[in-house]
Amino acid sequence: NAGVMQNPRHLVRRRGQEARLRCSPMKGHSHVYWYRQLPEEGLKFMVYLQKENIIDESGMPKERFSAEFPKEGPSILRIQQVVRGDSAAYFCASSPTGTGDHNEQFFGPGTRLTVL
Amino acid sequence: KQEVTQIPAALSVPEGENLVLNCSFTDSAIYNLQWFRQDPGKGLTSLLLIQSSQREQTSGRLNASLDKSSGRSTLYIAASQPGDSATYLCDGSGGSYIPTFGRGTSLIVHP
């Protein structure tokens, strides 16, 4: 059972371009979480999704950021018109359930976004 | 809104010492408490998950406890080794089920 997969592992974009980050959860997991880790800061929750549903996006900036988790395929975190402040490590985690006692999270290796 | 605090922020110890890392949280209606380690430039590796109905979990040299009434969890590392050097993060999912991480404890174990 492969772990959580993220690609690309490293992404370089120029200001104003779009960044698309992909996350494939572990097999059998239907809950996905996205986090951002800025240099010298902690891990911040961004968005929580189930298949075809955004459950909570309270941690995601209102503009330029969007996330989806389609019925088929990976979850996508999309950042439009990137700025230098978007440079960070973006982590995805998945769990078999989203609430209760059995929502142990398993993390991917992260995508390191650098905005030039 | 859940807030998670980890103390100490950094720790440097000689090999062989027994260590205690602390995590406190504000919302006692916690679903579970999960401890992770993060190596530089890497993702997070799950160490221990304590479910809300449990008080502690053990894995090898690691033991984690959970005291919901006082809003605390402790990660105990026995006989520390240089390979334990990493940042340790705790995640307390409170009543809103949103994962909330502390800033972490950066641990260095020197030979």
pLDDT digits (tens, 9 = 90+) for B11-46: 999 999 999 999 998 887 777 888 999 998 888 999
Strand A111-115 to A88-95 pairing: antiparallel
Q: Do B89 and B37 form a contact (C-beta atoms < 8 A)?
A: yes
Give the model's pLDDT for residue B77.
Answer: 97
Q: Do A91 and A105 form a contact (C-beta atoms < 8 A)?
A: no
Q: Do B97 and A99 touch (CB under 8 A)?
A: yes
Give the model's pLDDT for residue B96.
Answer: 55
Q: Do B43 and A91 touch (CB under 8 A)?
A: yes
Closest CB from B46, B99, B102 relative to A33: B99
pLDDT digits (tens, 9 = 90+) for B43-75: 899 999 888 788 999 999 999 999 988 999 999
> B104 to chain A: nearest residue by CA?
A42
pLDDT band at A1 (very low <50, low <70, confident <90, very high): low
B95 against B72, higher pLDDT: B72
Q: Do B92 and A43 form a contact (C-beta atoms < 8 A)?
A: no
Q: Do B32 and A45 touch (CB under 8 A)?
A: no
Q: Do B49 and A48 touch (CB under 8 A)?
A: no
> Residues of B near A (CB-CB distance < 8 A)?
31-32, 34, 36, 41-46, 49, 51-53, 89, 91, 93, 97-104
Give the model's pLDDT for residue A2.
Answer: 74
A108 contacts on B by Cβ (under 8 Å): 43
> In whole angstroms, what is the distance from residue A65 CA to residue A19 CA?
10
Mean pLDDT of chain A: 91
Task: Assess whether pLDDT exceeds 70 at residue A78.
Answer: yes
Rounded to the nearest angstrom, the minimum Cα separation between B81 and chain A is 24
Handedness of CA A57, A116, A110, B24 (dihedral sign): negative
Give the model's pLDDT for residue A95.
Answer: 86
Task: Assess whether pLDDT exceeds 60 at residue A14.
Answer: yes
3-state secondary structure of B33: strand
